[in-house]
Amino acid sequence: MDLPRSFVIREHNHRIHNPLTEAKLATLGRAIRLRPGTTILDLACGSGEMLCTWARDHGVVGTGVDISTVFVAAAQDRAAALDVTDQVTFVHGDAAGHVAPTAVDVAACLGATWIGDGVAGTVDLLGRSLRPNGTLLVGEPFWRAEPPDHATVEGCHARTRDDYHDLPGLVGLFTALGYDLVEMVLADEDSWDRYVAAQWITIRAWLDANPDDPLTADFRAELDTAPQRYVRYLRPHLGWGAFALRRR
């Protein structure tokens, strides 16, 4: 049980595996008014940056679950580096279906709603771990601009236009699911650059060091096309946000 090797190679230098910068992640922590002792469950936690930095900056405690052995190890190293190992725990496991044994103040999944087969299923899953009046955090893409053709849809890693909502549609979905949207922090073009463009230098360094690896041809082809696809399609058309919700 692990992520594909190609995904891990592409993002192994990332501490945040979504289009939030460190500054925006810090803004999100302040925006939801974290307090010392706040309990958090982070599903598909990646390399644990959210839990680790919020433990350092706000005194939260919590658990992160991720399917990647590499990312879980990185999260544990990050906790040690920030001296918060007594506040956070990282577990290798499948986040899909994971429910906290004790209800938490904040239940989060930032950018991996496939664990619930979409936004609605992920909201339902997170809600099973949430205490009354707790905060649910969901990270999800949305259309910033209407895709003009199918090439744009595919360039934004979607199969159909309906794979993503526009921002009003996404907010409307949260309402339909029975939640108030109480805060949000949105990615901008620069933070998208820091997430996506940073992968290209990682891939190039990996290619230079691994010319005979079985994945070399695939990564060479990716680096040949990914920057043009990103600037043509994804950067102008796709948004991303972290949304804080509370049950009505």
Structure tokens at 225: 């096309």
Strand order in the sheet with 104-110: 88-92, 61-66, 39-43, 104-110, 130-143, 238-247, 179-186
pTM, two decimals, is 0.96
Q: What is the pLDDT of residue 113?
A: 96
Average confidence (pLDDT) over 137-149? 97
Q: What is the pLDDT of residue 240?
A: 98
User: What domains does the chain contain, in order, with CATH numbers?
Assistant: 5-144+159-187+239-247 (3.40.50.150)
Q: What is the pLDDT of residue 1?
A: 79
pLDDT tens-digit profile of 32-62?
999 999 999 999 999 999 999 999 999 999 9
Assess whether pLDDT exceeds 90 at residue 67: yes
Closest residue by Cα to residue 14 from 52, 49, 51: 49
pLDDT tens-digit profile of 156-193?
999 999 999 999 999 999 999 999 999 999 999 999 99
